[in-house]
Every structure is written in structure tokens, then in C-alpha cells.
Structure 1
Amino acid sequence: MLANYLIGLREGLEAGLIVGILIAYLGKIERRDLFGRLWFGIGIAVAISLGVGAILTWGPYALSFQAQEILGGTLSIVAVALVTWMIFWMGTHGAGLSKELRGQVDAAVDRSWFAIVLLGALAVGREGIETALFVWANVAGGSDPVLGTTGAVLGILTAVAISWGISRGLVRFNLSVFFTWTGLFLVLVAAGVLAYGIGDLQEASVIPGWGEPAFSLVAAVPPGSWYGTLLGGIFNFTPEPTWAQAIGWLGYVAITTALYLGMLQQRTTPTTPTPTPTPTSTPIRSNT
């Protein structure tokens, strides 16, 4: 539940900040008449996100077991790719997000009325579809889908409340620090989803090695223990991973964490401007 809560909170905050920037800028340029179109586009994005979640939840039941495993494994890997892209995108574009969105609003205002609807749908729909896919992938590997889904909904509602408080000046906190630490947390969550997806593909005989554990941590982390249940619910932890799952988990965590920390270090390291060389004048010598 905690993992899905933080996923809903983070994605909801991103969407809330985007909506707040768009509304504030339309008000600043005195185009409040476009609010209705913007909210219509946002409504379309929410409906599409809910539709994606419904299809992921009930659609696979008509498939065979092998097809369900292949679909589940593939979508889990796609979810990991999307959330990884989201983590790095927010880290590199967060500082200039407001300027980028204002430019998109200016371009949309100069076009047809539908451009504002499309801008609202795309800006929020990306976050909504990412949330639906990643929460589904995380819930699919957990033991309590209802609890996991409830956590995501609570996270989104919390994000809505925080976004409203920020827009009214009632809530102040360091968003950069929040996104940095939740990004590191989501790397571990995504690694668990990746391992789960690999396991699905192994069960479907797409990847060999199912039923051959690389090692066993059952003695240290019994599946029925409270901490085993907690680790399984948050990180999709399995005490007996296959070699493919173990290698996939370790490789993803090592590579993604190294790249993420490198990006953060590059972002926080101040760049020293290169001094411009001053031209030196060569004295003109007279031959007289």
C-alpha cells in the first residue's frame, strides 16, 4: 500500500503542478475564457486513465493462462520503462517546467480552440496513464489488490489537497527534495516490478529458468512473516528469485541508481563560466 500511495502522491503532484501552472498562466494573460476548454481536456485525460486501468484489470480474464502471463510480464516491463523515463524526465525538466508549459500555452492559444483541449489532455493524460499502468503492475505482484489500489487513490487525493494548498499559498515544502527522494524509492519499487514481470515471462516459457531459484532467503525472510509481507507488498520481494529475476533486479538497481545520482550531481554542481580572453593590443612600432 505504501508504494502505491507514494506513486499516486508523486504522479498526482506532478499533474497538480502542471494544471496549476496552466491555469495561472491563462489567468495572467487574461484568457480565463479558455478555462472550460482546459478542464475539458483534463477530464478527457482522467477518463482515458480510468479506462486504461479498467482494461488492465478486467481485460486479461478472457485470455489463456500463458497469454495472461505474457501480457502481464510485457506490461510490467513497459511500466518499468515508463516510470524510469518519468523519474529522469522530472529530474531534468523540473526546473524549466513552468517556462516550457507557458510556451505550449502560447502556441496553443495562437492555434484553434481544440489546441487548448489537446494540451490539457496530453499534459495530464501522460501522468494518468503512467500511474494506471505502474500501479496495476505493482498491484498484480502484490497479495492484496484492494489495499494497493486504495493506497494509490489515497495518494492521488493527498496530492490534490497539497496542490490546492500550494496554489493558495497554504502549503510550502521543498518539491525538489521530495521528487529526489521519491525518485530513489521508485527505483527500488520499479526493480521489484521488473523482477515480477520477468517471472511472468518465465512462467509462460518465454524466458527459460522458471522454477530454478538462484538462492533462498526463506529462512531469513519467511513469506508469512510481517516483514516478508511488507517487503512483498512494497517492493515485490520474493525470497526465492530465479537467476533471471536476480540479475534483472540487481542490474536495474545498479545502472539506474548510478545514472540517477550522476544526473543529480550534475544538476547541483555549479558551472563556472569560462572567462572570455581579452584581446591584447600589439604596439605598432615605427620604422622611422
Structure 2
Amino acid sequence: MVTTMIIAFRESFEMLLIIVPLLVYLAKIDRGDLKKYIYLGSGIGVLTSILTGVIIFNQAKSLQTTSQHVFQGCMMLFLSALILYSIILLRKQNKSLLIKADSNINVKITAASLFILSFLTIFRESLEITIFTLPFINEAAINIALGIVVGAAASIAIMYFVYKGTLKFSIEIIFNALTVILILLGALMFGEGLSELMPNMGESVEKLGELMYAVPTLYIFVKEMLKKYIKKL
């Protein structure tokens, strides 16, 4: 449950980083009449992602026990690689995550564009939540669902306080903390993935995999982060 909660929190937060500034921007230009298209696109995106997630989970659960172990092992290795790509390689683009009502909104303000943007944003991030929770298909469905709901609710609450100005630390600090947590989750997934694919190797291969993943990844992340802060001094 804790893992799915963290994943849902991060992905939901990324959704809100796009949706909320759009809503604020529409209010600033006095086009509140267009907000309904964002809500509509977001709602359909949520429903579509739920339907897609149910289909994917049912297909995964229908696998035989041996095939399920192989599937889970491959998914964990794939997700650990995906985490590595997103938090290390993409950070080198040095794009700051600043929340401003008028920042980087380069979309033509039409009903269709707002609907499509909100739908694709919600659907893409929700699909990522589904993919990240696939390795835990053997857990109780209620635990997975509860973790997703709690994580999403927490991200909404934090975003609310950020925009109300009562949360003083920056979005970048939040993402740095989440990145460290994700690195540790990626290490656990990498180790468990190796263990699923090589069950005869015991816990040693799992621990070795965790260290092989976590140590260099944390080193690269901390090094990049320190470089960034030193440049600001």
C-alpha cells in the first residue's frame, strides 16, 4: 500500500502541475467559462484510465503462477529502468519546476485544446500509476486502491496549500525528496525483479541488485543536485 501511495502521489502531483495552473490562468484572463472543458477532459481521462487499468490487471492476474513470476520480475526490472531514466537522464535538461499561474502555458486557449490537453495529461499519468502497480497484482485490490486514493488525495492537499501560499518550501524540494524515495523504490524493484527471475539464488541476488542500483543512482542524483545549488551561490 505504501509503495502505491507514493507512486500515486508523485504522478498525481505531476497532473496537477499542468491542470491547476491552467485553471488559475483562465481565471486571470476572465475566461472561467472554459474551465468546464478542463473538468470534462480530466473526468473522462480518469474514467478511461480506470477502465484501462481494470483490463490490464485482469489480464495480468489470469496468467499461470510461473508466468506470473516471470511477468512480475520483468515488470520490476522495466520499472526500475524507467525510474532511472526519468529521474537521472531527464534531470540533465535542467528544467525548473516552478509553479506560476502564467508560466509556460503555450497552448492555444480553445475549448478543444483544453479538453485534449487535460484528457491526455490525466490519462497518461494515470496509466503510469497502473503500470507502476502491476508488480503488486498479488496484493489485495483494496490495498492497491486505498494506496492510490490516499496518494492522490495527499497531492491535491499539498497543491492546494502551495497555491494558497501557506506552504513555504518550493516545489523543487518536494520533487527532490520524492526523487530520493523513488530511487530507493527503484532499487527495491530491481532487487525483487532479479529475485523473481532467479529464485534459486536466494536473498543474496536481491540485496546485490538493490546495492547495484541504489549506490550509483544516488551518487549521480546528489552530484547533479549539488552542482545545481552551487551554481546558484
Tell me which interval the TM-score lies in, with the shorter structure as reference length. 0.7 to 0.9
Which is greater in Rg? 1
Cross-structure match for 2:217 = 256
Instruction: Name the aligned partner's letter for residue 48 of structure 2.
Output: I
Cross-structure match for 1:266 = 227
- Alignment CA distance shift 1:39-1:81 (3 Å): farther
TM-score by length of 1: 0.67
Deviation at 1:102, TM superposition (A): 0.8
Cross-structure match for 1:73 = 73
- Alignment CA distance shift 1:250-1:179 (3 Å): same
**Is the CA contact (8 Å cut-off) linking 1:18 and 1:124 kept in structure 2?**
no
Cross-structure match for 2:199 = 210
**Is the CA contact (8 Å cut-off) linking 2:77 and 2:190 kept in structure 1?**
yes
**Is the CA contact (8 Å cut-off) linking 2:60 and 2:137 kept in structure 1?**
no
Instruction: Name the aligned partner's letter for residue 200 of structure 2.
Output: G
Identity %: 23
Cross-structure match for 1:183 = 179
TM-score by length of 2: 0.80
Counterparts of 1:81 and 1:45, CA distance in 2: 26
Report SS of the residue matched to 1:211: helix
> What is the RMSD computed on CA atoms of the aligned residues?
3.0
Cross-structure match for 1:128 = 126
**Is the CA contact (8 Å cut-off) linking 1:82 and 1:130 kept in structure 2?**
no
Which string of whole-angstrom CA distances, capped at 9 and with x for unpartnered residues, describes residues 161-199 of structure 1? 222333334444433222212211211111111222233
Q: Give unpaired runs (5+ residues) of structure 1.
A: 203-208, 214-239, 273-288
Counterparts of 2:98 and 2:13, CA distance in 1: 16
Which string of whole-angstrom CA distances, capped at 9 and with x for unpartnered residues, describes residues 104-131 of structure 1? x2xx33xx74322221123333322222
Deviation at 1:36, TM superposition (A): 1.9
Give the count of matched residue pairs. Answer: 230
- Alignment CA distance shift 1:241-1:50 (3 Å): farther
Counterparts of 2:43 and 2:68, CA distance in 1: 31
What does 1:106-255 correspond to in 2, within 5 Å? 108-109=108-109, 113-137=111-135, 139-140=136-137, 146-200=142-196, 202=197, 209-213=198-202, 240-242=203-205, 245-255=206-216
Q: Which runs of 4+ in 1 moved over 6 A?
A: none
